[in-house]
Structure 1
Amino acid sequence: MKNSRLIIFASLVLAGILLVQFNQMPNLDKQLGQARADLKQAKVNQVKSQTIVSSPKSRQETVSNSTSRVNKFVQTFSNQPTSSYPDSLKGLASQKVINQLTQTFAPSVTFSDKAHYDVPLVGLKNAWGSDLEYLVIAKSDVQSVAYTITYDTDEKQVTDMSRLTLKGAFDNEK
């Protein structure tokens, strides 16, 4: 009799433990689902982090390509007659900039044998937007000209520019 009571007591304790465990299963399923969602989010964050860490190199390539295109743009409009701007600057600059150059910013020497302009300086002012801002100096034997140029990396063309007056080291106009 003592053994049967002990067996009944042990059976009741085991049944209670089993009942508690079965009641815990929905909570454990929820915890498992949450853990899987957290793991998935962590993987997404890891991919984003790797992209952010690797993006300065791609940004550097974008800035380098943009700088060479701005340099080519200044070389092109500085060393060609104003009448050829619509054709020669197509793809390098927006229509607004081409019109602006044709009307107001053409170099002051417009003869067919005009001076050749070199571009000794292309300085980057802002490197982290989709619009890069440059300071560009074009220099000939007679004069030096400075421009601020905005280059849109999405459109891959110059979208705005203005001519600056030079004072100091580059001021060799007579």
Structure 2
Amino acid sequence: MTEIRCAWAKLPLDIDYHDKEWGKPLKDEQKLFELFILETMQAGLNWHTILTKRENYRQAFDQFDPAKIANYDEAKYEELLLNEGIIRNKLKIKSVIKNAQAYQKLLETQTFVDYIWRFVDHKPIINEYATISEVPAVTELSEQMSQDMKKKGFSFVGPTTCYAFMQAAGLVNDHTLDCTFR
């Protein structure tokens, strides 16, 4: 049987990500935080760019340890700005630190997994789109997530970023109907 993938998965790195990660329900605290941070870094760029730099991000941001990131000082921020292996956007780097701080604060009352998954009542939403062009960039749910995350102190969490995160983490399954990985 020939494997059919969603139309966006064309390059080897994208295919590997599509086949092994995208749209699969993710409920591991550490991996969910990593994916969230990567999605915020992707804002305005394409996902392939982020995937090619993923290992560099892991190294630069202490394997996405939120407790460490939340305590980054000005010297660490300046070091990150000089790191050619990541996207050196001042606002995005500051947002990673801010998001780690908001994450740490959130942990005082609940896990990040419980917080994120409550938006879909802890069950993935299975959409049935025939083509990738039918898949929305924003939904009412991603608008709600965006607003709530902003209230909790997170940044770079617009509704488009939130929806991309929901897709990536499997809160919504937007694999097209012909995709054999559905």
TM tier, smaller: under 0.3
Larger radius of gyration: 1
Instruction: Judging by fraction of residues, say which structure has more strand.
Output: 1
Give the TM-score, by structure 1 length. 0.25
